[in-house]
Amino acid sequence: MAAPSAVLQSEWTKIKSVRSTIWTLALAFIVTVALGAVICLVFNNTWDDLSTEDQATFDPTNTAFFGMTLGQLALIVFGVLVMSSEYSTGMIRTSLAAVPQRGAFYTSKVAVAGVLALVVGMATSFVVFFLGQALLGSHKAQIGDPGVLRAVVGAGLYMTLLVLLCVGAAAMLRSPMLGLGILMPFFFLVSPILSAVPKVKKVAHYFPDQAGQKIMQVVPSTDDHVSYGPWGGIAIMAVWVAAALLGGYVVLRQRDA
């Protein structure tokens, strides 16, 4: 067996020595924070235009995370590229010749991408929360309020799981074109649209992103009655992630590089 620490170190060198890592993660951070801040500002300034019902169910915590709809696209690119660039560049043959134990190679890559995503995800989540609340003025939530810390930590977890899902999917698809071509439209268009269509949305609620985003809500929305709570939602997402990672491992193990 190759020494696990050696392979981890190698994967860390790999991930930090390409520009796409910096760009995608920085973009995810900036877009999520900037968009979240703008939305909070708009809500604060147009508060009086909201209906009483909207005011009553206003969720200041979740509002700060609205920017993630766009910001997560950069995370998808990050997750897909971490894995599929090995295939698109041919580097996979060099990598597997150096570490023929494919499980060790895969685990290390997933771990490095996951830890990096967790750090960036948590940073993004906390920054956008505090910035958003500051901009919401008197309508803000406090980190100590019930469910708020869970939502903020949950947003970081959501971003981490999303990246891991993309890593696993990319390992199955083995091509950046396929990976981005399937995952970007799915998370940006297909999933949000389907979750708004009557009847279909009962199924769509179990999609990884729809289930995972539940944890970011502090005030439950009135119009959907999903059968899982915030932690249940993130657990559903985690099952998707586990399936994707396992699928990716099986493909990596079975197929010729």
Binding residues for other proteins, rule: CB under 8 A, are 1-3, 6-7, 9-11, 13-14, 17-20, 85-86, 89-101, 256-257
Alpha carbon distance 206, 185 (integer Å): 17
With respect to other proteins, which residue has the nearer C-beta, 62 or 95?
95
With respect to other proteins, which residue has the nearer C-beta, 13 or 221?
13
Alpha carbon distance 45, 248 (integer Å): 47
With respect to other proteins, which residue has the nearer C-beta, 99 or 135?
99
Least distance from C-beta 102 to other proteins, angstroms? 8
Alpha carbon distance 148, 216 (integer Å): 8
With respect to other proteins, which residue has the nearer C-beta, 2 or 38?
2
The residue with tokens 């919401």 is 136
With respect to other proteins, which residue has the nearer C-beta, 70 or 257?
257
With respect to other proteins, which residue has the nearer C-beta, 23 or 206?
23
With respect to other proteins, which residue has the nearer C-beta, 4 or 185?
4
Alpha carbon distance 7, 16 (integer Å): 14
Least distance from C-beta 94 to other proteins, angstroms? 5
Q: Determine whether 206 is exposed, middle or buried from the number of CB atoms within 10 Å of its CB (0-12, 13-18, 19+).
A: middle
Tokens of 68: 């993630």
For residue 120, give Cα distances in angstroms to 40, 127, 157, 210.
Answer: 21, 10, 10, 21
Cβ contacts of residue 226 below 8 Å, gap of 6+? 205, 214, 233
Least distance from C-beta 250 to other proteins, angstroms? 14
Alpha carbon distance 36, 136 (integer Å): 11
Alpha carbon distance 118, 156 (integer Å): 6
Tokens of 246: 């396992």
First to last CA, the chain: 19
